Chains A and B, each alone.
Chain A
Amino acid sequence: MNAPCYHCGTLVSPQNTLQFDKRAFCCVGCKTIYQFFTDNHLSDYYRFDANPGAKPSDASIKYAFLKDQAIVSSLLEFQNEETSIITLHIPHIHCSSCIWILEHLHKISPAILRSQVNFLKKTVRIVFQPKLSLFELVQIISNIGYEPRISLEHVDAKEKPVDRNLLYRIGVAFFSFGNIMLLSFPEYFEVGEFWLEQYKSFFRWLMLGLSLPAFLYAAFPYYESAFYAIRSKRLNMDIPIALGIVAMFVRSIVDMYLDHGAGFFDSMCGLIFFMLLGKLFQQKTYEFLSFERDYKSYFPIAVTRVNDDGGEAVVAVYDINPNDIILIRNEELIPVDGILLSATAKLDYSFVTGEQKPVYKQSGDKLYAGGKFYGATVKLRVSQRISNSYLTQLWANEAFTKNKRAAYSTITDRISRYFTPALLGLAAISFIFWSFTSLQMAFQVLTAVLIVACPCALALTAPFTLGNVLRILGSQKLYLKNAAVIEQLAAVNTLVFDKTGTLTTTSSSALSWKGSFTEDELVAIKSAVYASNHPLSRLISNELLGLKAEDLSDFKEFPGKGIEAKHGNTNMRLGSATWIGAAVDTTTHATAVHIEIDGIYKGSITFSTLYRKHLPELFHKLANDYQIVVLSGDNSSEKATLASILPASVSYHFNQKPEQKLNFIKKLQDEGKTVLMMGDGLNDAGALMQSNVGLALAEDVNVFSPACDGIIDATVFEKLQAYLKYSKNAMRIIYGSFTISVLYNIVGLSFALSGTLSPLVAAIIMPLSTVTIISFVTIMSNVFARFKSK
């Protein structure tokens, strides 16, 4: 039976378990943290959530740039002699234990004064004394398993001013609405008492006064939007809304003056309040996700530069100039284009191109930014500044600068194109018709029409439906940037998929063994790979889960090449074909680890890509309704495999560079297609940006994803078809509730046109229609969300 590690929850077989304090641990790191917490009276950490921790990581090299004072001060939020403040983004924050430990950091180091977690944003704001350096602080929290993510985007990231205007407006509208409602009760019930009659005008003046903040301040966005729409000669929903509000206000004042009644102050404030509430509801944001990432989120803040005198210094990447010489260490990302000075280098450009096979470069070769480097430290002569490098230029494309939102009109806008002129026409006709009878009556009917037809329910329909759908999809692990994406999702007719990392999974792969191994040899291999941290070693180690890793008498890792280990009397070398000296199989492009035991070549382990579960089923379902394209930066070696499992209508394009992907999407759009692009890497960033809906697929939604309209968790990939269908149903719900609110409008209008609209009728119809609409869309969107149970 495999037991979970008490600290991090990783399943470990009994043979590999570390026992300490009667608890099971998966590795020394986890045990150390546990020991540390118990010694420091922090063992409460384990009380809030089971196995809350993460494996610790060594921060000393990775965060060496934090020793540089200039970089540190660009990261700090505030700094003086007594205190420093920093906000760190920590992806691991996921449970109450995390909040607890991160808010008890002052128990670990007295130099930490206080810390506060924002769970939704996954950040912790730490106030500490400068006698503790930022480097030491990051080391402390990395050592307890909470490694912060610090990348180029955090440098000089000015705290964005939070827009809280909507909340203020809602507060004001509710204040006016509530107080006016209370003052209106005598009017509603037409209490004819003598003393109430006496104070009637006082009450009315008070209502007028109370309605002013709502009329002038809370409703301001509607006037603004209506004004801009008229100026650009468009018709939107905010025009009848603004007209309705103004009509109510003017009519109420006239009624007051002529002593007709209390007017519509109550309905007006209620209407403003409800509509603002709808806006708030639609504003659901997933704060822990960032939909706006560019290369800056991936790039390191600083690199090591070799100075003229041979000394090394950490410099910010923005300060690297052409002809500087920089050092790139194992697993670091190359931030600038340059020329390799060291003999050879192995680079993984999967992050840029999608091509998983590593690239080998010789001394003198040109290296492009974005490659992840494996191997012993190399030197690089810089040829371009970061902003001019090959990769970063992709962001100079116009797809990244133009506003996607402006390109299409929302469903509410489209409907208001018919609704607004119809309403204005009706108001004009009724005014002319009644003006033959009496001008005063005509004015009353005109305002009544504008008041009753004020599309409050109509305007609430889309925000409430889309806001609700957004939440339901979020609970199903499809996180959309905003409600407008749902409308686009429903309109999509072409689906474009990236291959590597999107159709294939990166978390597991199929291993095939070549050659035969004895039980003892397998144990030796397991022991060797267990000691290594390389991703391929981990995969092999997982494959040999049943075996116990034993102690090695000798172990050496050669970055980019392989490992050399001695287990008992067995000498082993595991690694790449060229390093081992095995014949390279050129027919396949698959990654392989070759094994040599005691100087004899024994065989190899080949890793073949694994397609996502249910991929063929999903594509067969989708092929009925959508045109599907596979767009890959990889070579065409997998084409035959793909063609055999996917529907025949799918088309394939291989060897596509990031820029070509972008242009391919653009071409489809020029043909009139509405395109959904699904990708995972930075190489898809351009295509994701250009497409109508760009969905980034993520194995772990907290880690990287390029700029996009939505992030979909890899575990729900197979549900894509259900989600697309759901978005279409959401549109049907909106049309359905539009019909209902138009029916309410017709009832209201029949009162208005006959000149019998009393404030009481208005005060009833308005909230009633709102409540109907909200309950209708909430019930319907939950009914259609039946895929939840599947």
Chain B
Amino acid sequence: MSVIYLLISISLIIALLFLYAFFKAVKNGQFDDDYTPSVRVLFDDSVTDSKTETSPTVVSPKTIQND
């Protein structure tokens, strides 16, 4: 039955890993903003467009202004 020492230490190590992951997440600021990521995850990775050309035209701020 001394296998219980092994099992309990494994389970404790796993629990500690989760605690560590939680600490890391808090430290990274994952709990600071609990709204924006929920929206961001729904965005498509690639930008779809009705027009078919592929290379995006690069513009300086001036181009918009002078219109």
Contacts and interface: CB of A to CB of B under 8 A. Distances in A.
Interface stretch (A8-16, A66-74, A107-115, A270-278): A107-115
A99 interface: yes
Nearest to A33: B64
A119 B39 contact: yes
A108 B49 CA distance: 15
B61 A39 contact: no
Contacts of A143: 61, 64-65
A56 B44 CA distance: 26
Interface centre among B36, B48, B61 (most CB of A within 10 A): B61
Contacts of A119: 33, 35-36, 39
Interface in B1-60: 1, 4-5, 8, 12, 15-16, 18-19, 22-23, 26-27, 29, 31-36, 39-40, 42-44, 47-51, 56-60
| Centre residue among A41, A60, A96, A110 by max chain B CB count within 10 A | A41
B22 to A, nearest CB: 5
B28 to A, nearest CB: 10
A44 interface: yes
B35 A36 contact: no
A172 to B, nearest CB: 7
A499 B49 CA distance: 52
Interface string A75-118: 00000000000000000000010011001100111100000111
Contacts of A624: none
B4 to A, nearest CB: 6
Interface in A6-32: 28, 32
B9 to A, nearest CB: 10
A144 interface: yes
Given A109-B60, A164-B27, A120 B36 contact: yes
A317 B51 CA distance: 48
B49 A99 contact: no
Contacts of B49: 38, 41, 43-44
From DSSP, what is the main secondary structure of chain A's interface residues?
Answer: helix
Contact of A42 (B40, B47, B64): B47
Given A117-B36, A120-B35, A171-B26, A41 B47 contact: yes
Contacts of A178: 15
A436 interface: no
Interface in A162-182: 162, 164, 167-168, 171-172, 175, 178-179
A643 interface: no
A168 B26 contact: yes
Contacts of A38: 49-51
Contacts of B16: 175
Contacts of B48: 44
Contacts of B44: 44
Given A41-B49, A179-B12, A164 B60 contact: no
B26 A108 contact: no
A171 B1 contact: no
Interface string A128-142: 000000001001100
Contacts, number: 99
Q: Which of A39, A121, A199 has the most CB of B within 10 A?
A: A39
A184 B42 CA distance: 43
A104 B40 CA distance: 11
Given A40-B56, A41-B56, A32 B67 contact: yes
Interface string A208-220: 0000000000000
B47 to A, nearest CB: 5
B60 A99 contact: no
Nearest to A206: B8
Contacts of B57: 39-40
B19 A171 contact: yes
A198 interface: yes
Contacts of A39: 57
Contacts of B58: 109-110
Nearest to A120: B35
Nearest to A97: B39
A100 B44 CA distance: 10
Contacts of A198: 1
A178 B11 CA distance: 12
A144 B64 contact: yes
B26 A167 contact: yes
A136 B63 CA distance: 12
Contact of A40 (B8, B40, B59, B67): B59
Contacts of B12: 179
A136 B35 contact: no
Interface string A550-564: 000000000000000
A58 B64 CA distance: 11
Given A108-B59, A168-B26, A195-B1, A100 B43 contact: yes
Contacts of A199: 1, 4
Contacts of A41: 47, 49, 51, 56
B19 A103 contact: no
A778 B17 CA distance: 35
Nearest to A137: B61
Given A32-B67, A96-B39, A171-B23, A121 B33 contact: yes
A60 B39 CA distance: 32
A119 B35 CA distance: 7
Interface in A419-447: none
B23 A103 contact: no
A107 B29 CA distance: 26
A35 interface: yes
Contact of B33 (A36, A43, A109, A118): A118
Nearest to A29: B67
B29 A168 contact: no
Given A108-B59, A164-B27, A198-B1, A175 B64 contact: no
A35 B36 contact: no
A143 B50 CA distance: 23
A60 B61 CA distance: 11
Contact of B67 (A35, A107, A164): A35
B39 A99 contact: yes
Contacts of A162: 29, 32
B15 A175 contact: yes
A120 B29 CA distance: 14
A32 B18 CA distance: 51
Interface of A: 28, 32-33, 35-36, 38-44, 56, 58, 60, 96, 99-100, 103-104, 107-110, 116-121, 136, 139-140, 143-144, 162, 164, 167-168, 171-172, 175, 178-179, 195, 198-199, 202, 206
Interface of B: 1, 4-5, 8, 12, 15-16, 18-19, 22-23, 26-27, 29, 31-36, 39-40, 42-44, 47-51, 56-61, 63-65, 67
18 contacts: A32-B67, A33-B64, A38-B49, A39-B57, A44-B48, A103-B40, A103-B43, A118-B32, A118-B33, A119-B36, A120-B33, A143-B61, A144-B64, A164-B27, A175-B19, A178-B15, A179-B15, A198-B1
Shortest 9 CB-CB contacts between residues of A and residues of B: A41-B49, A119-B36, A139-B61, A143-B64, A140-B61, A32-B67, A171-B22, A175-B19, A167-B26
Given A32-B67, A144-B64, A175-B18, 7 more contacts: A36-B63, A103-B40, A110-B58, A118-B33, A164-B26, A164-B27, A172-B19
